[in-house]
Amino acid sequence: MNYLAELLASGLAVGAVYGLIAMSFAIIYKSTGLLNFAQGEMGMIIAYVAWSISTSVDGNPFIVALGSIGFAVLFALAVERIVIRPMMSEPILSQIMVTIGLSVIFRSAIILIWDGLPHNMAIASGNQLVDLGGVRVRAAQIAVLVALFAAIAGMWAFFRYSRFGVAMRAVASDDATAQLMGVSSGKVQMAAWAAAAVLSGVAGVLFAIAYELSPSLYALGLKAFPATILGGLDAVIGSAVGGLIIGVTENLVGGYISSGLKEVAGFVIIILILMVRPYGLFGEKRIERL
Amino acid sequence: MRSGYYKETIVEHINLTDSTLQRAWIGIGLLLVIAAPFHFEFYGLSLITLMMITAIGAMGLNVLTGWTGLISLGQTAFMVLGAYAYAISTESWGWPPLLGFVLAGIVPAIASVIVGVPSLRLTGLYLAITTLASAFIVNHLVLEFDGLTNGSSGIFVNRPVIFGYAFDTDAKFYYLTAGFGILTILACLNLRRSRIGRALIAIRDNDNAARVMGIDLRAYKLYAFVASSFIVGISGALYGIFLSFVTVDGFPFLLAIEALAILIVGGMGSIAGAILGAVFLVGLPEVTSFVFSWMGSSAQSLLSTSAHEIKGLLYGLIIILFLRLQPHGLMGLWQDARRTWTLWPLKY
């Protein structure tokens, strides 16, 4: 029983990380129709920047949070403006390949700028153990769950009530009409990239605190694909739920079946989902198909 | 002044070439391929061999991505399967290498049907994701069936002996690879001008229109998957022999990106483009190391410590710059140059 509870707890924590990154995928896909293969790498770069800030200010959590969020926004806006914006009218293969090219560059740049070794990231009391009725978890693992729920609530309110959120939904449902109504799709795209970078940055930093900071952090992006496919590529909140489901499934498979299968469980789920229900659990039924 | 070449019959149109000049160039090219081992030593020769193996793989991917317009991020899976099919059949079971090569084509082809059938309904982005997922699953399966594949420790592969003739030196293996390369070029050229090739292009250009013309999308997309992974599997087997060692780690995910980068650099959908792109991307690290060594010792030590990262950085930059500035690749550049040459001083 305790074993199961531990698996569930760590599954929910890692699932929340996947969920945050999956939300970033979905936000960008929803507002621009582009899947950013470099999202995990962006989260990783933000985590490294946060680590650099934290070592120079002795881990003051407020400065680290402000600095890394500021960096995330600027970084995403720069990437969007310089690399992505000129490619938006190109065919889908070019768009995919540009983001893949970015991901390869980021992955190499991390090792060239920082190094290839794992680091311990200590901010506030993030890696202290907390006892929850017999199950011991790290504070950062709780924090990432809290962050996920905050992000879900924030996104829901944003899309529902804010003027900008409504504009984003309008661009998502019909680009041309939204532009005729006076919505600037360029601004919507900038906002989507910034929001996605902040979410995946939060995921990267909290993952680094709970486990470790290493150049293999980008794999979180790959692991978040199943989550966003399961939830629906255009369903922001659905993707978050998908993340939790994938995280728990992975841990249960790893705990009860085999640890090798744990690594690919998500990818098996992708193929099953795409065969049965390609638009995901919560997505809209308008996928390209023949 | 001549305004262009005109072809009046179907036969003229599907002939591989009708110009004596082109035949002469092909002859010169063949002579150069035959003469290469007499000029180049170990390192240069192994580099050219690697270029040829890469070009074979790129031509395979070109059938799927360049002609049919189906994006695959999972080519490494078929390379891995081809390499293992060859290694297991020849090294563990002692089958003749020729049969091993056939198996290296057939096993990935069967696997591609398994990957292809569920992916048939998907296009674009979704296909890219399923093929990516299947690449990871194949790697996992190879590691899991360690009784057959030796798990993560891999299998040693000897140079093949075909009909009593041992391809044991670098030069002989080079000729074997060149033979496979020429066969692949011929196969691709002939596939391209057959009914199947035209159908694949039609699917890429407009799938609904192709369907109205009576092209069975499912069947032809499966043809593309099978033909592509057959060729990619052969290149995987050759790569395994080249490394003389087959492991999952020998086929990193970067290889699938490299293959797509080759098509982008060379020019989508062109066989000559795939070959040019392969030469360009395989030669790129060599050029870089030359430039770095010219820049001084500190740059050289950076290159020796982080060669893999610099390679990745270059691939990424090349992909983005080509897509941004020259989306038709090197073949597009060549065509522009040729047009300017014929039409000068007029613009068009």
Q: What is the ipTM of this complex?
A: 0.83
Yes or no, beta carbons of B323 and A109 under 8 Å apart: no
Note if the bond before B345 is cis, omega within 30 degrees.
yes
Write the DSSP string, chain A.
-HHHHHHHHHHHHHHHHHHHHHHHHHHHHHHHS---TTHHHHHHHHHHHHHHHHHHTTT-HHHHHHHHHHHHHHHHHHHIIIIIGGGTTS-HHHHHHHHHHHHHHHHHHHHHHS-SS-B----TTTT-EEEETTEEEEHHHHHHHHHHHHHHHHHHHHHHH-HHHHHHHHHHH-HHHHHHTT--HHHHHHHHHHHHHHHHHHHHHHHHHHS-B-GGGGHHHHHHHHHHHHH-TT-HHHHHHHHHHHHHHHHHHHHHT-HHHHHHHHHHHHHHHHHH-TTTTTS-S---B-
Tell me which of B251, B282, B317 is where a domain ends: B251
Show me where the domains of chain A are located.
2-218
Percent of chain A at pLDDT > 70 equals: 94
Residue of higher predicted confidence among A134 and A258: A258
The answer to whether residues B243 and B257 belong to one domain is no
What confidence tier does A95 reach under pLDDT thresholds 50, 70, 90? confident
CA distance B118 to chain A (A): 6
In chain B, which residues have their Cβ closer than 8 Å to the Cβ of A267?
132-134, 136-137
In chain A, which residues have their Cβ closer than 8 Å to the Cβ of B77?
none
The answer to whether residues B80 and B105 belong to one domain is yes
A-chain residue closest to B261, CA distance: A97
What confidence tier does B43 reach under pLDDT thresholds 50, 70, 90? confident
Stretch among A209-223, B69-83, B94-108 having the lowest mean pLDDT: A209-223
Yes or no, beta carbons of B129 and A102 under 8 Å apart: no
In chain B, which residues have their Cβ closer than 8 Å to the Cβ of A274?
118-119, 122, 126, 129-130
Please enumerate in sequence order all residues whose Cβ is within 8 A of that of A169, keeping only pairs 6 or more positions apart, or say none.
A30, A159
Residue A75 in this model has a pLDDT that exceeds 90: yes
Residue of higher predicted confidence among B84 and A175: B84
In a domain, B151, yes or no: yes
Mind listing the pLDDT tens digit for each residue in A4-45? 888 888 888 889 999 999 999 999 988 888 889 999 999 999
**With b meaning 16 or more CB within 10 Å and e meaning fewer, what string describes B208-244?**
eebeeeebebeebbbbbbbbbbbbbbbbbbbbbbbbe
The answer to whether residues B141 and B188 belong to one domain is yes
The answer to whether residues B281 and B177 belong to one domain is no
Question: What's the pLDDT score for residue A41?
Answer: 92
In a domain, B19, yes or no: no
**Would an 8 Å CB–CB cutoff place A100 in contact with chain B?**
yes
Q: Kindly report the number of other CB atoms within 10 A of residue A255's CB atom.
A: 17
Expressed as residue numbers, the domain containing B313 is: 253-338
In a domain, B15, yes or no: no
DSSP state of B166: E
Percent of chain B at pLDDT > 90 equals: 28
Residue A60 in this model has a pLDDT that exceeds 70: yes
The answer to whether residues B133 and B234 belong to one domain is yes
What confidence tier does B253 reach under pLDDT thresholds 50, 70, 90? confident
Mind listing the pLDDT tens digit for each residue in B67-82? 998 888 888 899 999 9
Mean pLDDT over all residues of chain A? 85
In a domain, B162, yes or no: yes
What confidence tier does A289 reach under pLDDT thresholds 50, 70, 90? very low
In a domain, B90, yes or no: yes
* Cα–Cα distance, B65 to B57 (Å, whole number): 12
**Would an 8 Å CB–CB cutoff place A92 in contact with chain B?**
yes
Nearest to B316 among A35, A104, A112 (CB): A104
Tell me which of B218, B251, B284 is where a domain ends: B251
Mind listing the pLDDT tens digit for each residue in B192-225? 888 999 999 999 888 889 989 989 988 999 999 9
Mind listing the pLDDT tens digit for each residue in B171-189? 888 999 999 999 999 999 9
The answer to whether residues B117 and B205 belong to one domain is yes
In a domain, B20, yes or no: no
CA distance B188 to chain A (A): 22
The answer to whether residues B212 and B106 belong to one domain is yes
The answer to whether residues B211 and B294 belong to one domain is no
Residues A34/A193, Cβ–Cβ less than 8 Å: no
Domain tally, chain B = 2
In chain B, which residues have their Cβ closer than 8 Å to the Cβ of A289?
121-123
φ/ψ of B165, rounded to 5, equals -100, 120
Yes or no, beta carbons of A271 and B264 under 8 Å apart: no
CA distance A60 to chain B (A): 32
> What SS3 class is residue B215?
coil
Tell me which of B251, B272, B299 is where a domain ends: B251
Residue B238 in this model has a pLDDT that exceeds 90: yes
Mean pLDDT over all residues of chain B? 86
Residue A254 in this model has a pLDDT that exceeds 50: yes
The answer to whether residues B113 and B168 belong to one domain is yes
The answer to whether residues B154 and B242 belong to one domain is yes
At A165, which amino acid appears?
G
Residue B110 in this model has a pLDDT that exceeds 90: yes
* Cα–Cα distance, B149 to A63 (Å, whole number): 51
Residue A290 in this model has a pLDDT that exceeds 50: no
**Would an 8 Å CB–CB cutoff place A97 in contact with chain B?**
yes
Question: What's the pLDDT score for residue A126?
Answer: 62
The answer to whether residues B245 and B304 belong to one domain is no
pLDDT mean over A200-213: 87
In a domain, B99, yes or no: yes
The answer to whether residues B188 and B295 belong to one domain is no
A-chain residue closest to B115, CA distance: A271
Question: What's the pLDDT score for residue B82?
Answer: 93
Write the DSSP string, B293-321.
HHH-HHHHHHHHHSHHHHHHHHHHHHHHH
Cα A200 to the center of its chain, rounded Å: 4
Yes or no, beta carbons of B71 and A229 under 8 Å apart: no
